[in-house]
Amino acid sequence: MKNRDTFSSQIGIVAASAGSAIGLGNIWRFPYMAGKNGGSAFIIIYLVAIILMGYPLVYTEFAMGRRAKTNAVDTFGIIGGKKTWNSVGFLAVLTVFLISTFYMMITGWVIYYFYHSLTGGLYHISPSTDSVTYFKSVFTHMSSSMGIPLIFSMIAIYITALINSIGIKEGVEKYSKIMMPVLLVLFIILIGYSTTLPGFSQSMTFLFKPDFSVVTPAVIIGAIGQAFFSLSLGMGALITYGSYISKTENIRKIAKQVTFADTAIALFSGLLIFPAVFTYNLEPTAGPSLIFISLPQVFLKMPGGRWFSVLFFLLVIVAAITSLVSMLEILITYTIEKTNWTRKTSTWVIVFLTTIGGAINIAGEGPLSFVQIGGRTIFDWLDYLTNNITIPLVAVLTAILAGWVWKNVHLNKELEIGGTPSTMLDHQFNSILKWLIPPTIIILMIALILGIEA
């Protein structure tokens, strides 16, 4: 086997993995999912899911990756001792491919909004025009066309590919170490401003005072799915990064830091977005268009809002690009190891394929939006299928593989390399993989398939 690249430092691994985890899932998806599903009740379930299911799967994926030292597909076969396990890895890689096709579309939308905030064009609105109608039409005009979103999403994927084509240490790691501090600084500036808005305390209530009457199986699986999506679990992302982690690193420690960073950013994103939403009397339940239709109305009304808008969309771009980098890396590592092509060739082949997928999503929102199955566009279907079905499925099978087939002794052995001896608590977390994750998710998935709706 060729010499594999490795991450050079713990801080680099944490930056790249937190970069993977922190993305549109935190800033765009988490606030609207919470908004739509009753706010704090959803958040509590989400937090429980992060601690009891997310964290153990994060270190398990890292450990599997480092142990097998190969792409996400073959890792499953190596850990499971049978080639048939590769099919689970294949499902993970297929899932990440599907996600990357709509992720690039949304990142393209964000770049479009950034660009038009910067030029000021987004806020050129005559005083007599109703701002709701105006921003709805801006969004519809953009998302229903073909050329503009395609160009902007291609910009997103090309920036990403330039980073990936360099390699792990000099590309992914180096750029993550630059982008994550930028992200943090932008975030702190924006949060600081948000806390001064009158709607701040109302959002605290909305986000942190639970109402359990709205909880259904669909809300629970939505929260678990969100936890997995946000931590980039069930898609081979952390397995792939794990395969580039050296034996001197403490995986449990890295897993804790990544889980914490991702969760903190999701919660703070709520505190970034909702004060503005409440201050200007908008609906917190707006859905995917929350940051594209509701927030610009807020930016329009607040003093200095245009610059807030520039910083906000820049923040989202940085977050989304580091996630796209990790998605492409899964596909690139797999391609390199299956074909023996160079990293450069593999990168551009993957870019070509994702761009086709991206174009299909874009067409599905635009010129072909009449092609709907069961009232859902192509993007809606992909989002639904991946988050509710394939991601939980891969996560369950990963837990079963690690807990029942690979077994705790071997998992622990890998975790102790570069780390510290396992404590009682560590052992208890491992048993979650065996006893808690599989039954919980299987029951919820059955409930969902039987159509117990929200």
Q: What span, in angstroms and rounded, lies between the C-alpha atoms of 307 and 398?
A: 44
Cβ closest to ligand TRP, residue 97 vs residue 123 = 97
Min separation Cβ 231 and ligand TRP, Å: 6
Min separation Cβ 21 and ligand TRP, Å: 5
Closest CA relative to residue 55, chosen from 238, 226, 234, 256 = 256
Residues of span 168-197 touching ligand TRP by CB under 6 A: none
Min separation Cβ 87 and ligand TRP, Å: 19
Cβ-proximal residue to ligand TRP, closest one: 25
Min separation Cβ 228 and ligand TRP, Å: 8
By CB under 6 A, tell whether 26 contacts ligand TRP: yes
Min separation Cβ 281 and ligand TRP, Å: 29
Q: SS3 of 302, please?
A: coil
Q: Which residues of 235-272 are buried (b: 16+ CB within 10 A; e: fewer)?
A: bbbbbbbbbbbeeebbbbebbebbbebbbebbbbbbbb
Distances (CA, A) of 305 to 111, 185, 193, 310, 386: 17, 18, 11, 9, 35
Q: Residue 150 CB: number of other CB atoms within 10 A?
A: 20
State the binding string over 423-442 for ligand TRP (x if CB under 6 A, else -): --------------------
Distances (CA, A) of 21 to 244, 252, 289, 418: 17, 16, 21, 23
Cβ closest to ligand TRP, residue 101 vs residue 297 = 101
Cβ closest to ligand TRP, residue 78 vs residue 330 = 330
Cβ closest to ligand TRP, residue 26 vs residue 335 = 26
Closest CA relative to residue 258, chosen from 8, 11, 6, 5 = 11
Cβ proximity of 382 and 102 under 8 Å: yes
State the binding string over 97-116 for ligand TRP (x if CB under 6 A, else -): --x-----------------
Write the Ramachandran bin of 92: left for phi over 0, alpha for psi from -120 to 50, otherwise beta.
alpha
Instruction: Enumerate the β-bridge partners of residue 122.
Output: none
Query: Rounded to the nearest 5°, which phi and psi values hold at 303?
Result: -60, 130
Among 14, 21, 34, 258, binds ligand TRP (CB under 6 A): 21
Min separation Cβ 333 and ligand TRP, Å: 12
By CB under 6 A, tell whether 24 contacts ligand TRP: yes
Among 25, 65, 77, 358, binds ligand TRP (CB under 6 A): 25
Among 23, 199, 418, 438, binds ligand TRP (CB under 6 A): 23
Q: What span, in angstroms and rounded, lies between the C-alpha atoms of 104 and 109?
A: 9
Cβ closest to ligand TRP, residue 138 vs residue 318 = 318
The angle at the Cα of 146, spanning 145 to 147, to the nearest 5 degrees, equals 110
Residues of span 218-247 touching ligand TRP by CB under 6 A: 229-230, 232, 235, 237
Min separation Cβ 395 and ligand TRP, Å: 12
Min separation Cβ 331 and ligand TRP, Å: 10
Cβ closest to ligand TRP, residue 40 vs residue 160 = 160
For residue 87 the two structure tokens come to: 């099919």
The site that binds ligand TRP (CB under 6 A) totals a number of residues, namely: 16
Residues of span 79-98 touching ligand TRP by CB under 6 A: 96
The angle at the Cα of 156, spanning 151 to 157, to the nearest 5 degrees, equals 95
Cβ closest to ligand TRP, residue 187 vs residue 229 = 229
Cβ closest to ligand TRP, residue 93 vs residue 215 = 93
Min separation Cβ 100 and ligand TRP, Å: 8
Cβ closest to ligand TRP, residue 22 vs residue 138 = 22
Min separation Cβ 89 and ligand TRP, Å: 14
Distances (CA, A) of 396 to 30, 58, 379, 382, 400: 22, 13, 24, 20, 6
By CB under 6 A, tell whether 259 contacts ligand TRP: no
Query: Rounded to the nearest 5°, which phi and psi values hold at 373?
Result: -115, 120
Min separation Cβ 138 and ligand TRP, Å: 24
Among 327, 432, 437, 445, binds ligand TRP (CB under 6 A): 327
Cβ proximity of 433 and 198 under 8 Å: no
Min separation Cβ 230 and ligand TRP, Å: 4
Among 279, 326, 346, 408, binds ligand TRP (CB under 6 A): 326
Q: What span, in angstroms and rounded, lies between the C-alpha atoms of 36 and 285?
A: 4
Q: What span, in angstroms and rounded, lies between the C-alpha atoms of 57 and 126?
A: 51
Residues near ligand TRP (CB under 6 A): 20-21, 23-26, 96, 99, 229-230, 232, 235, 237, 323, 326-327
